[in-house]
Amino acid sequence: MVQGEMMTKIFDKILIATDGSDNSKAAVEKGLMIARQCESAVYVVYVIDMSTFSAASIVTPAGGDIFHLMENGGKKAVEHVKKIANDLNVKTFVISGKPAHEITEFAVKNKIDLIVIGTHGTGGIERMLLGSVADKVIRTANQPVLVVRSWL
């Protein structure tokens, strides 16, 4: 590098989306590996999928309990990533809404350079019925998206 020339990081900020499952483990590991190599800040995001709640379950005490269980699960998931990230600069977030929308909105608001997300690698009828958060993120994100397939 020539004196006075600044080197720009390829990815200054990386968003790693996790759902805390074994299926997201490969994406977390790959995202952290890239962050180490690029010396990136890491934003770990867990989205509580509000579409899983019916209107009745939200207003009942049982619905509140379910939400808090999911919120606690989200906190554990992002804290686990922070713990295994060791020396990286990691910020954790548990948010609620529609996962793909929340991930892409978060990325825009926080000027994320790369989104890392896992996929189960499902296709066919399963994908048509369930939809794919990773697929929706790919189609709507303004940033590059790295999709890491789970082999479980």
For residue 80, the domain's CATH number is 3.40.50.620
54 or 97: which leads in pLDDT? 97
Question: Which residue's entry shows tokens 């600069």?
Answer: 89
| Mean per-residue pLDDT of the chain | 85
Predicted pLDDT at 75:
97
5 in a domain, yes or no? no
37 in a domain, yes or no? yes
Predicted pLDDT at 8:
65
Predicted pLDDT at 129:
47
Asked whether the beta carbons of 133 and 117 are under 8 A apart, the reply is: yes
Predicted pLDDT at 1:
46
Q: How many domains does the chain have?
A: 1
Cα atoms in the Cβ-side hemisphere of radius 13 Å centred on 126: 6
pLDDT in tens, 94-134: 999 999 999 999 999 999 999 999 987 655 555 554 458 99
